[in-house]
Amino acid sequence: MRAILQRVSSASVTIQNQVKGSIGTGLLVLLGIAPQDTDEDAEWLCRKITAMRIFADGNGLMNLSVKEAGGNILLVSQFTLYASTK
């Protein structure tokens, strides 16, 4: 699995002029899944992403997880993370 994370103040996914998902403050996660990835890989990555302390606390230090910061996660399938560009 490959994931790109971006902290956002808001994010949305629009398909054919219709919003399919949106969040306020939180994480936008672009996720690529390979054929050899397992359920255990997915569970590990979910735990890792939700536990990462990448949001500022009251002192401005990156000391809060997305959950502790009261944020949400917007997960977008991104199969091109495994594309061969040769």
The pLDDT-based confidence of 9 (bands split at 50, 70, 90) is: very high
pLDDT over 90 (residue 68) = yes
State the pTM of this model: 0.90
Beta bridge partners of 25: none
What range does the domain containing 38 cover? 2-78
User: One of 6, 14, 50, 79 is an active-site residue; which one?
Assistant: 79
Q: Write out the E strands in the chain.
A: 2-8, 11-15, 18-23, 26-32, 55-56, 62-64, 72-77
Helices (H), ranges, the chain = 39-51
Residue among 12, 17, 9, 19 at smallest CA distance from 75: 12
The mean per-residue pLDDT over the stretch 71-84 comes to 94
36 catalytic, yes or no? no
For residue 86, being part of any structural domain is answered with no
The mean per-residue pLDDT over the stretch 48-52 comes to 97
55 catalytic, yes or no? no
User: One of 18, 36, 80, 85 is an active-site residue; which one?
Assistant: 80
% of the chain surpassing 70 pLDDT: 100
The mean per-residue pLDDT over the stretch 30-48 comes to 97
CATH code for the domain in which residue 16 is found: 3.50.80.10
Structural domain total, the chain: 1
For residue 83, being part of any structural domain is answered with no
16 catalytic, yes or no? no
